[in-house]
Chains A and B, each alone.
Chain A
Amino acid sequence: MLRNALERFSWVAFLLWCLRIGVIALVVWGASATLLSGRYSASNWISLIVAGLAQGSVYALIALGYSLVYGILLMINFAHGEVFMAGCFTAYFAARALESSGYLAKHPLLTIGALLIVSMAVSTIVAVLLERLAYRPLRNAPRLVPLITAIGASFVLQYTFRGLYGSGFSAYPTFDILRGRWMVAGASIQIVQVVVFISALLLMAVLYWFVERTKTGKSMRAVSEDKEIAALMGIDVNRVILVTFAIGGLLAGAAGVLRGLYQPQGISAFMGFIPGLKAFTAAVLGGIGNIPGAMLGGIFLGVFESIGPNLVLEGLGIPGANQLRDAIAIVMLVFVLIFRPQGILGEKLSEEKA
Chain B
Amino acid sequence: MGTERTKIITHIATARSWLAANSRWVLILTLILALIFPFSVKTYILSLGIEVLIFAIFAMSLDLLLGYTGLPSLGHAAFFGLGAYILAYVSSNSELALGLTDNLLITLPIVILGTALSAVILGFLALRTSGVFFLMITLAFAQMLFSIAIRWSSVTGGSDGMTGVPRPTLGIGTWHLSFTDRADFYYLVLAFFCITWFLLRYIVRSPFGLALRGIHANEQRMRGLGYNTFRYKFTAFIVSGVIAGIAGMLLSQYFWHAVPHNLFWNMSGQALIMVVVGGPGTLTGPVIGATLMRLLPNFASTYTELSETLMGLVLILFVLLAPGGIFGIFHKKR
Contact = CB atoms under 8 A, between A and B. Distances in A.
Contacts of B272: 148, 151
A83 interface: no
B74 interface: yes
Interface centre among B70, B133, B316 (most CB of A within 10 A): B316
Interface string B127-167: 01111110111011101100110010000000000000000
Given A277-B143, A324-B151, A156 B131 contact: no
Contact of B129 (A144, A154, A274, A338): A338
B65 to A, nearest CB: 12
B191 to A, nearest CB: 32
B319 A148 contact: yes
Given A145-B323, A152-B313, A338 B137 contact: yes
A154 B143 contact: no
A99 to B, nearest CB: 27
A143 B128 contact: no
Given A143-B131, A145-B319, A160-B305, A338 B72 contact: no
Interface string A60-72: 0000000000000
B190 interface: no
A155 B319 contact: no
Interface string A153-172: 11111111011000100000
Interface string A36-53: 000000000000000000
A210 B316 CA distance: 33
A159 B276 contact: no
A160 B310 CA distance: 9
B135 A147 contact: yes
Contact of A156 (B124, B147, B266, B309): B309
Contacts of A134: 316
A331 B315 contact: no
Interface in B203-224: none
A273 interface: yes
A323 interface: yes
B319 A163 contact: no
Contacts of B135: 147
Interface string B263-275: 0011001001100
A159 B311 CA distance: 10
Contacts of A326: 143, 147
B315 A152 contact: yes
Nearest to B72: A144
A337 interface: yes
Contacts of B171: none
A323 B139 contact: no
Nearest to B303: A163
A151 B316 CA distance: 9
Interface string A246-289: 00000000000000000000000000011001001000100000
A338 to B, nearest CB: 5
B269 A330 contact: no
A76 interface: yes
B133 A327 contact: no
Nearest to B268: A151
Interface residues of B, number: 42
Nearest to A156: B312
B131 to A, nearest CB: 6
A155 B315 contact: yes
B312 A333 contact: no
B316 A163 contact: no
A320 to B, nearest CB: 8
A331 B308 contact: no
Contacts of A280: 136
B12 interface: no
A12 B127 CA distance: 12
A239 to B, nearest CB: 22
B319 A333 contact: no
A159 B133 CA distance: 26
A147 B72 contact: yes
Given A323-B151, A334-B125, A155 B312 contact: yes
Interface string A318-330: 0010011011001
Contacts of A234: none
Nearest to A269: B305
B129 A148 contact: no
A268 to B, nearest CB: 13
A337 B137 contact: yes
Given A163-B305, A163-B309, A273-B265, A327 B144 contact: yes
A148 B305 contact: no
Contacts of B305: 159-160, 162-163, 167
A330 B309 contact: no
Given A144-B131, A151-B74, A341-B129, A156 B316 contact: yes
A149 B319 contact: yes
Given A145-B319, A324-B151, A330 B312 contact: no
Given A137-B320, A159-B308, A15 B144 contact: no
Contacts of A323: 151
B137 A334 contact: yes
B19 interface: no
Interface of A: 12, 15-16, 76, 133-134, 137-138, 143-145, 147-149, 151-160, 162-163, 167, 273-274, 277, 280, 284, 320, 323-324, 326-327, 330-331, 333-334, 337-338, 341, 354
**Nearest 7 interchain pairs by C-beta:** A155-B312, A163-B305, A152-B315, A156-B312, A159-B308, A152-B312, A152-B316
Given A337-B129, A337-B133, 8 more contacts: A148-B72, A148-B315, A151-B315, A155-B309, A277-B139, A326-B147, A338-B125, A354-B131
